[in-house]
Amino acid sequence: MTAMIIEDSRLARNELRTLLREHPQIEIIGEARNGREALAAIPELQPDLLFLDIQMPGMGGFELLENLTEVPLIVFTTAYDEYAVKSFEFNTLDYLLKPIHPERLALTISRLEERQQKNEDQNPLKDGSHQIFVKDGERCWIVKLADIRLMEIYGNYTRIYFKEHKPLLLKSLNQLEERLDPQQFFRANRQQIINLKWIKELTPWLNGRLKATLAHGEEVEISRRQSSKLRELLSF
């Protein structure tokens, strides 16, 4: 597994390198001193994993994640247990308090390996860890694209629906659409994009249109043009 260390303090980067020597399965392929440097390096280095400090000069950890088109696995490293870290959905990522306990780091790494293994089992052809970072107010999530059922225009932003959450994403629906796999995500109408895998029921609606009911009960009317497209796509 390839990893990058993103930390502003040189000593803290060295400390983490020292600790990671015990875990040769983690290969450190780069370092960055702040979010801006990381943002420039990540597309080229394509690390599987980031060890990421939250407070950094210039661009901090959260801002970096908001700017990444694709979010790799994340382990936050922080000096103090902040409110922001607490509000995370912990199953999607991990965080380490500095100074880091070697045992705690070992636990994190075994979890990461387990997670990677699971992803490969689920989706052997594609990298299943396609995920995005969402920060709405003080809550943050790292969401797998596959978990998103519905995306909906909300002013200049987009509301995304996954599990029981529906946070706002500070990107337009069109910006998002460019990054989505058209085999999985379908433009239902001008306002909404649905995840075909989450459709529970498709019912004929007025004027040859279709209505999709999603797994959590959301109902989406599909425009006429898109309805025929969907019929074609699903070939029925």
Partner 1 sequence: MPTTKTKLFWTLHILGWLIFTLVNGGLNGYLNGSQFVLVINSLVGLWGFLVTLGFRAYIHRAGWKNYSLSELVLPALTGILVVSTIWMMLSAGAAYLGVYLVNAPPTPLWILFVNGMISGLLITTVWTALYFSYHFFRRYTQAEIEKWKLEATLKEAQLAGLRTQINPHFMFNALNNIRALILEDGQKARLMLTHLSDLLRYALAETKHEQVSLKTDLETIDYFMALHSIQLEDKLHFEQDIEEGLQEVKVPPMLIQLMIENAIKHGISQQEEGGVIRLAIWRETKHLAISVKNTGRLSSSSKEQNKIGGVGIRNIEDRLALLYSGQAHFNLAEADGMVEAKVRLPLEKET
Compute the distance between CA of residue 13 and CA of residue 56 in angstroms, rounded to an integer: 13
Size of the site for partner 1 (CB under 8 A): 20
50, 43, 59: which is closest to 5 by C-alpha?
50
Does position 87 bind partner 1 by CB under 8 A? no
Compute the distance between CA of residue 25 and CA of residue 219 in angstroms, rounded to an integer: 46
Does position 108 bind partner 1 by CB under 8 A? no
Which residue in 1, 2, 15, 168 binds partner 1 (CB under 8 A)?
15
User: Which residues pair with residue 235 across a beta bridge?
Assistant: none
- Give backbone dihedrals phi and psi of 13, rounded to 5 degrees, phi first: -65, -45
CB of 88 to partner 1, least distance (A): 18
Amino acid at 140: C
CB 209 within 8 A of CB 224: yes
117, 148, 104: which is closest to 130 by C-alpha?
148
Which residue in 12, 52, 64, 220 binds partner 1 (CB under 8 A)?
12
CB of 168 to partner 1, least distance (A): 18
Stretch that binds partner 1, among 55-63, 86-94, 162-170, 219-227 (CB under 8 A): 55-63
Which residue in 30, 45, 98, 221 binds partner 1 (CB under 8 A)?
98
Which residue in 40, 79, 107, 170 binds partner 1 (CB under 8 A)?
79
Does position 63 bind partner 1 by CB under 8 A? no
Does position 139 bind partner 1 by CB under 8 A? no
Does position 29 bind partner 1 by CB under 8 A? no
Q: Return the structure tokens found at 14.
A: 């060295």
CB of 19 to partner 1, least distance (A): 10
Q: Return the structure tokens found at 102.
A: 């070697």
CB 172 within 8 A of CB 180: no
Interface with partner 1 by CB under 8 A: which residues?
8-12, 14-15, 18, 33-34, 36, 55, 57-58, 79-80, 97-100
